[in-house]
Amino acid sequence: MSSTQAAVVLGASGSVGDALIKELIRNGSLKPIVTVVRRSQPDQVAMARDAGVELRETLVPAMDPAGLETATTEAIRSLAGDVVGFSVLGIGAGTAKLTIDEHRAVDVQLNAAFARGLKASGRVKLLTFMSAAGADPSAAVTGSGGAGMARYARVKGEAEEAVKQSGPAVVSIFRPAMIIGSQHTPWLLEKVLPVFSFVTPVKYRLRSAMLLGWLTNLSCLAHPTPKNAAPRSRAP
């Protein structure tokens, strides 16, 4: 990779995405930062401006797969140097109320389109992708689609496979469990569950949406996970 690296981010408008953008601005290792979003995020733009960091927004109002893929490719081609892709896009709450196809339309199809756009640009060698603990493309497609249930794991597993098949040469997959600090975390669980983290297996421990240094840790960029390697499990 060259000494100049930019970041292209999908999912910046969500809780995790907002924390990621703040960390990218604070870290300063990847610039400029390009977000591919449905609507402008004024607070992020202001924060970047105050920090002297260039943040470009690429708006995709319809956020459909074809439009997203094209917008991603065009945004990258306007950049100089190497580019690193980040996707933290996913439905954060209410998946139990969705059909599996409605869930797939966002978590699988949009992430796959983003991955294709990265690859088509010819400029991106690494995609850092956030999935979920227990992701399994062979899990049952029936039953509840709520977080932690088999159907949810199935969609997350399918999303992992889609970005690996469609994306750049290297895809680093992270599988957090419940993300403490997210707007979707019930307040009681946010207060109680960390107390029991010491007895929880590492792969299922709680992560904080405000402590996402692992997403921009340069060791991730220097030692990415090959497509056929197992997803990384990191302690909080």
CA–CA–CA angle 114, 119, 124 (5° rounding): 100
At residue 50, the 3 state secondary structure works out as helix
Please indicate, yes or no, if residue 39 is contained in any of the structural domains. yes
pLDDT of residue 11: 96
Please indicate, yes or no, if residue 77 is contained in any of the structural domains. yes
Please indicate, yes or no, if residue 233 is contained in any of the structural domains. no
Regions in the chain scoring below 70 on pLDDT: 1-3, 178-236
CATH number, domain of 166, equals 3.40.50.720
pLDDT of residue 229: 52
Please indicate, yes or no, if residue 41 is contained in any of the structural domains. yes
pLDDT of residue 218: 42
pLDDT of residue 207: 47
Residue in the structure block whose two tokens are 């139990």: 96
Please indicate, yes or no, if residue 206 is contained in any of the structural domains. yes
Please indicate, yes or no, if residue 90 is contained in any of the structural domains. yes
pLDDT of residue 235: 35
Number of domains in the chain: 1
User: What domain range includes position 48?
Assistant: 5-222
Residue in the structure block whose two tokens are 């060259």: 2
Residue in the structure block whose two tokens are 């797939």: 104
Residue in the structure block whose two tokens are 């870290």: 27
pLDDT of residue 112: 98
Predicted TM-score of the model (pTM): 0.81
Please indicate, yes or no, if residue 236 is contained in any of the structural domains. no
pLDDT of residue 174: 87
Pairing assessment for the beta strands 82-87 and 207-208 based on DSSP bridges: unpaired
Please indicate, yes or no, if residue 13 is contained in any of the structural domains. yes
